[in-house]
A = this chain, B = another copy of it.
């Protein structure tokens, strides 16, 4: 089996590690615009060789894990270069624009639009970890547009690395993911910003920070190169979630200002049921 990873960072590198573990005979070829990332991936044993789009024609599988703005630009070229029997899988955190970018492509049937919901706040080849996808959800969009045989090949790998599959249309994906992922990142980034701005003497203030702050601000470590394009592509949904979030914060502040601490208590009590909801998230089973 010949697998090409386009973008050998956390997501692509982790996928490569899992494939290699399952299929030690597989040849893993890395493609990346960063030569130093490729060198790093080689050294770490994540890929077997470096390649380019010329390597795609004989590939059984191409896994494209690059920022979503690059995805929209590169995906048509990748499909151009892919062989007739190659399945091209993306891992973009948005789906509408990506699906649109290849909707009329003559090799649309070689493409499977995916969003494996997995990751950490770190990035680059050194952040790649084996088993990242185990127990995680993979959202597949417009599955009916992918050739049956190629669907099967991709699904077999996803199953082997332990992913749960969910099918959705790209617009529903982008709308929902804005709430459970994109908004979390913005809330975390702005929390980090608010605290950093306020506290000139970092040492003193961060000495006081507990694990609660750490957990809430964790996503503010994420890569701007990855996230700015996501917010751009999912602009309308992200703005909508932000408006609702800001409204809820403003209402909560008003309750405090009005000394209505019964309602403050009630609001928190209602939200406590996130406990039960989170228990249902498969990812909590670490």
Contact = CB atoms under 8 A, between A and B. Distances in A.
A200 B277 CA distance: 12
Interface in A167-204: 173, 176-177, 179-181, 183-199, 202-204
A210 B283 contact: yes
A257 interface: yes
A135 to B, nearest CB: 10
A202 B253 contact: no
A247 to B, nearest CB: 8
A206 B280 contact: yes
Interface residues of A, number: 98
A259 to B, nearest CB: 8
A273 to B, nearest CB: 7
Interface stretch (A35-43, A44-52, A212-220): A212-220
A53 interface: no
Interface SS of chain A: helix, strand, loop or mixed? helix
A244 B176 contact: no
A284 B214 contact: yes
Interface in A204-246: 204-222, 224-225, 227-229, 231-232, 235, 238-239, 241-246
A278 B208 CA distance: 11
B213 A181 contact: yes
B228 A274 contact: no
B207 A166 contact: yes
Interface string A249-278: 110110011010100111111111111011
A139 interface: yes
Contacts of A119: 210-212
Given A195-B183, A207-B137, A189 B271 contact: yes
A214 B268 contact: no
B229 A261 contact: yes
A248 interface: yes
**A-B interface, 9 closest residue pairs, ranked by CB to CB distance from nearest:** A224-B268, A228-B265, A184-B216, A180-B209, A192-B274, A117-B210, A192-B271, A242-B253, A190-B248
Given A189-B267, A235-B256, 5 more contacts: A137-B207, A193-B270, A214-B283, A217-B278, A235-B259
27 contacts: A117-B208, A176-B199, A176-B204, A177-B208, A180-B206, A180-B209, A180-B210, A180-B213, A181-B210, A183-B195, A184-B212, A184-B216, A184-B217, A187-B249, A190-B245, A190-B249, A193-B248, A194-B241, A196-B274, A198-B244, A217-B278, A221-B275, A222-B268, A224-B264, A224-B269, A232-B259, A239-B253
